Structure 1
Amino acid sequence: MIELKSARDREKMRRAGRVVGEVLAELRAAVKPGITTRELDHVADRGIKARGGIPVFKGYHGYPASVCVSVNDQVVHGIPGPRLLKPGDLVSIDLGATVDGFVGDAAFSTFVGEPPDERAAELVRVTEEALYRGIEQARVGQRLGDISAAVQQHVESHGFSVVRDFVGHGVGRQMHEEPQVPNYGTAGRGLLLKPGLAIAIEPMVNLGGYAVDVGDDGWTVTTRDHSLSAHFEHTIFIDDDGPEILTAIS
């Protein structure tokens, strides 16, 4: 069941998105050599609560933290802990918050200091570009496959691969709603996009192959070939004026 959101819902989602964007900006500034991923979780938890939000990840199917921090070959759902970040690490941070009953969800990838090489830097750049290629297709009258195809084509044109096992999703009163939003697909196919549809588009892109594995903790997803992975995400709202990014990072 796909729920189209009202103008009032949209305003509440804007507030949730603003909280997520502001806290992600704090997390980006905190990513430095020597910080632990658990300390980043503390930044996220404090930041969300200080703005009147609820960390939506914490307790979700038993997830133990307020943020996901995935490093190097970890794709998504990395659990914060004692791991120290080192220069050259590729860090992907995914954050969700509930405010006034609605959810904002977004993610970004960044390096600790300078990237280790040009190909790693290109991976992050192309993944973020692919997100915006997908957002550009999120317009009334387009099809869901137009978003998926735009992401996939941009990623694969640069020789990277799109993760198949995890996808974007609808978002609203719950973090994960219908429809699913794959990062691969065929233009002109799938759900017709209508005003009031709110979705999270989130390319997960690997430097090597697209196969992934879930770790023994039941959460942390890694690339099967242990190549680097990057992840970007925004919550967007579609109306007749086009897509509005609700989780812009300040």
Structure 2
Amino acid sequence: MVEIKTPEQIAKMREAGLVVAAMHRACAEAAVPGATTKDLDEVAAKVLAEHGAKPNFLGYGGFPGNICTSVNQVVVHGIPDRETVLSSGDIISIDAGAIVDGWHGDAAITVFVGEGHAPELHELSRVTEESLWAGIAAFRRGSRLVEISRAVEGYVKRQPRPASGKYGIIEDYGGHGIGSQMHMDPHLLNYVDRRRLVGRHNPKLVTGMCLAIEPMLSLGTPRTHVLEDEWTVETDDGSWSSHWEHSVALTERGPLVLTAVDGGRAKLAEYGVTAAPDPLG
């Protein structure tokens, strides 16, 4: 069942979303050469404590971190540790979440560590982030879930090919409903699967729905595997990847990007979409 939120519940999710945004700002500043991924996790824990919020990743299915730290060829679910030391030229996805009064926020950013990154890595991150916003702009009342998938995939396919030959839209992971739990129905693919166009796989988008929209792209294969730690997900061919995510609520006055500081106003305007007013003012 898809959980439908009241305006008051969406306001609580907005509070959680702003905590996530604060976690990202602090972690991005701390993602410097020589830092460990555990250092970033401790920064995230401090932000959570300062806001009186709880982590939604820590302990989830036994996950040992406050955030996921996925470096280079790691797509998602990288575990923070003391052994992984960031170097100039690395890229890292920081996936962060927070709970405020039982309501969840979840978002991810890709951060460039130091200097010396190839232009195709900057383009990889740009295309991934812009495909996220294309998906958010397609989150409209009366439409269907597949239109978000179509918008993400369509944006990626319209971009010039990278030097590696293609962008891989990761197949085994995607977005999800969010609210009183971090992962809820519906599951949201980042591409169109014609086998999922009917029934519960493709619900109508209605006021009160909240989704975590999260495209993941690689510079090669869309296929992945899980390491022996049972969490870390890498690309099969070792190609580097990017991950961007926002939690978004569909309100009577349009989409509200719960984990964006401005509620998504600036980026949605580029797509001709007016973001909903911020319930927190």
Alpha-carbon distance between aligned partners in 2 of 1:17 and 1:165, rounded to the nearest angstrom: 25
1:179 aligns with 2:186: yes
- Matched letter for residue 227 of structure 1: S
Distance 2:168 2:251 in 1: 31
Given that 1:25 and 1:249 are in contact with CA atoms closer than 8 Å, whether structure 2 keeps it comes out as no
Does 1:161 find its partner at 2:131?
A: no
**Is 1:94 equivalent to 2:101 in the alignment?**
no
- In the other structure, the counterpart of 1:198 is 210
For residues 132-143 of structure 1, what are the structure 2 equivalents within 5 Å? 132-143=133-144
Counterpart CA distance in 1 for 2:139 and 2:183 is 18
- Counting aligned pairs with the same residue, the percent is 44
Q: Could you list the runs of 5+ residues in structure 2 that have no partner in the other structure?
A: 160-165, 263-281
The residue aligned with 2:229 is 217
Amino acid at match of 2:187: Q
Offset of residue 31 of structure 1: 1.0
SS of the residue 2:208 aligns to? coil
1:121 is displaced (CA, Å) by 1.0
Residue 54 to residue 210, structure 1, CA distance change in 2 (3 Å):
same
Relative to structure 1, the CA distance from residue 146 to residue 115 in structure 2 (aligned partners, 3 Å threshold; closer, same or farther) is farther
Task: Structure 1: state its 5+ residue gaps.
Answer: none
Higher deviation after alignment, 130-139 or 43-52: 43-52
SS of residue matched to 2:13: helix
Residue equivalent to 2:39: 39
Structure 1 residue 54: deviation in Å? 0.4
1:88 aligns to what SS in structure 2? coil
Q: Distance in 2 between matches of 1:91 and 1:202?
A: 15
Cα distance in 2 for partners of 1:176, 1:94 equals 14
Secondary structure, in 3 states, of the residue corresponding to 1:68? strand
Distance 1:115 1:145, change over 3 A: farther
Cα 1:184–1:151 change in 2 (3 A) is: same
Q: What's 1:144 paired with?
A: 145
Q: Deviations over 1:166-213 (max 9, x none)?
A: 110000010001111111116994211000000100001111010000
Q: Closer, same or farther in 2 for the Cα pair 1:213/1:186, shift >3 Å?
A: closer
Using the TM superposition, give the Cα deviation of residue 156 of structure 1 relative to its aligned residue in structure 2, in angstroms.
2.8
SS in 1 for 2:64: coil
* Equivalence for 1:15: 15
Contact 1:214 1:220 in 2 (8 A): yes
Quote the offset at 1:52 in angstroms: 0.7
Counterpart residue identity of residue 79, structure 1? I
TM-score normalized with structure 2 length: 0.86
Matched residue type, 1:2: V
1:14-56 CA-to-partner distances (Å, cap 9, x unmatched) read 1111111111111111111110000000001111121010011
Where 2:5 maps in the other structure, the secondary structure is coil
- Paired with 1:242 and 1:62, the residues of 2 have a C-alpha distance of 36
Please report the RMSD computed on the Cα atoms of aligned residues, expressed in angstroms: 1.5
3-state secondary structure, aligned to 1:54: coil
Whole-Å separation in 1 of the counterparts to 2:139 and 2:207: 10
Alpha-carbon offset, residue 66 of structure 1 = 0.3
Mapped partners of 1:73, 1:249: distance in 2: 29
Distance 1:56 1:41, change over 3 A: same
3-state SS of 1:55 partner: coil
Alignment of 1:64-103 (within 5 A): 64-82=64-82, 83-103=84-104
CA distance in 1: counterparts of 2:89 and 2:192, whole angstroms: 33
* Contact 1:115–1:121 (Cα < 8 Å) also in 2: no
SS in 2 for 1:24: helix
Q: CA deviation at 1:152?
A: 1.0
Counterpart for residue 25 of structure 1? 25
Aligned-partner residue type, residue 155 of structure 2: H
* TM-score for both structures, normalised by structure 1: 0.97
Superposed displacement of residue 143, structure 1: 1.0
| TM-fit CA distance, 1:79 | 0.2
Equivalent pairs, count: 250
Shift of 1:117: 0.9
Aligned to 1:125: 126
